[in-house]
């Protein structure tokens, strides 16, 4: 425990359960004294999120489907009513039809392309627009992305295209909000077994491939992601914005299969 986030308040969006990347981040922030609010999608998740939030000293829960602009307005009005000033936002949200997270990208439907872009990329813009006016003392906004934005990863398909839009949004948002001392960054996390990841075709193969071929010869944990998120959300990174920071045990620097990696 420490005091890096003492006196700072923020909203965590996208906590589903204790496997979520958002959970690793929330734990790391709380351990440094942050005060946390949580938003979740749909009443079904409320009973999972409530005890997790409570264990981190929070009773501040908001329901919010980020595809619904009225719901976003309401969530940020409710947030502002209790906390007129916030310091950070964690955007840990992505979604696509799992029938299109397998097979070929060329088969993506227009409906799912638009829905995936909306929930996985535009929502960061919509959230930032509403969060920025509350960041009167500056702030830090963090999203989660994946290597499938940069290179072709089997089955990632339309989600890779949405993550590319998300990473570019990070740059444009960082430029828009820089004058207000609001920073916007992304963490490109290596594969981790979560609810969202289970929708991706043959995810076990991706996990195994990364474990065998990353420079560190292991996969990242949600605590690895939490530590880097703490840096990007605290004043330690006060000069960093528009960045996509890889937290992937170095996988993104490798160009070929490792010689010591067995066939899988």
| Binding region for NAD(+) | 14, 41, 65-66, 93, 163, 192-196
In the set 40, 122, 147, 156, the catalytic residue is 156
Nearest C-alpha neighbor of 72 from the set 97, 113, 41: 41
Sign of the alpha-carbon dihedral angle for 27, 165, 88, 2? positive
Is 157 a residue that touches ligand NAD (CB under 6 A)?
no
> How many positions of this chain bind ligand NAD (CB under 6 A)?
26
Q: Shortest Cβ distance from residue 17 to ligand NAD (Å)?
A: 6
Residue 134 or residue 229: which is nearer to ligand NAD going by CB? 229
156 classed as catalytic: yes
Residue showing tokens 């299969």: 257
Element (H, E) at 128: helix 123-131
Strand order in the sheet with 88-91: 61-63, 35-40, 9-13, 88-91, 139-145, 182-189, 244-247
Is 62 a residue that touches ligand NAD (CB under 6 A)?
no
- 71: tokens are 């719901």
Is 144 a residue that touches ligand NAD (CB under 6 A)?
yes
CA–CA–CA angle 11, 12, 17 (5° rounding): 150
Rounded Cα–Cα distance for residues 51 and 48 (Å): 6
Rounded Cα–Cα distance for residues 69 and 66 (Å): 7
Residue 47 or residue 84: which is nearer to ligand NAD going by CB? 47
Is 92 a residue that touches ligand NAD (CB under 6 A)?
yes
Residue 103 backbone dihedrals phi, psi, to 5 degrees: 70, -150
Out of 139, 160, 186, 191, point to the residue binding ligand NAD (CB under 6 A). 191
Is 122 a residue that touches ligand NAD (CB under 6 A)?
no
172 classed as catalytic: no
Please list every residue from 10 through 39 that binds ligand NAD, using CB under 6 A.
14-16, 20-22
Site of interaction with ligand NAD (CB under 6 A) = 14-16, 20-22, 41, 45, 65-67, 92-95, 119, 144-146, 189, 191-192, 194-197
């Amino acid at each position: 425990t420490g005091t890096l986030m003492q006196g700072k308040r923020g909203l965590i969006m996208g906590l589903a359960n204790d496997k979520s990347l958002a959970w690793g981040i929330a734990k790391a922030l709380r351990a440094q004294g942050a005060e946390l609010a949580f938003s979740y999608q749909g009443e079904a998740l409320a009973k999972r999120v409530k005890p997790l939030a409570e264990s981190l000293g929070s009773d501040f829960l908001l329901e919010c489907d980020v595809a619904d602009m009225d719901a976003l307005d309401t969530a940020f009005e409710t947030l502002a009513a209790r906390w007129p000033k916030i310091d950070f936002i964690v955007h840990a949200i992505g979604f696509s039809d799992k029938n299109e997270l397998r097979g070929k990208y060329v088969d993506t439907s227009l409906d799912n392309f638009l829905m995936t872009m909306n929930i996985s990329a535009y929502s960061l813009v919509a959230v930032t627009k509403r969060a920025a006016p509350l960041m009167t003392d500056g702030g830090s906004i963090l999203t989660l992305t994946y290597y499938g934005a940069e290179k072709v990863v089997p089955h990632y398909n339309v989600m890779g295209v949405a993550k590319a839009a998300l990473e570019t949004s990070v740059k444009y948002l960082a430029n828009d909000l820089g004058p207000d001392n609001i920073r916007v960054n992304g963490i490109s996390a290596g594969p981790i077994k979560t609810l969202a990841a289970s929708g991706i075709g043959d995810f076990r193969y991706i996990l195994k491939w990364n474990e065998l071929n990353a420079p560190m010869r292991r996969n990242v944990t949600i605590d690895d992601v939490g530590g880097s998120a703490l840096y990007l959300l605290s004043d330690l990174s006060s000069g960093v914005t528009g960045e996509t920071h890889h937290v992937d045990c170095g996988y993104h620097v490798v160009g070929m299969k490792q010689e010591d990696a067995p066939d899988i």
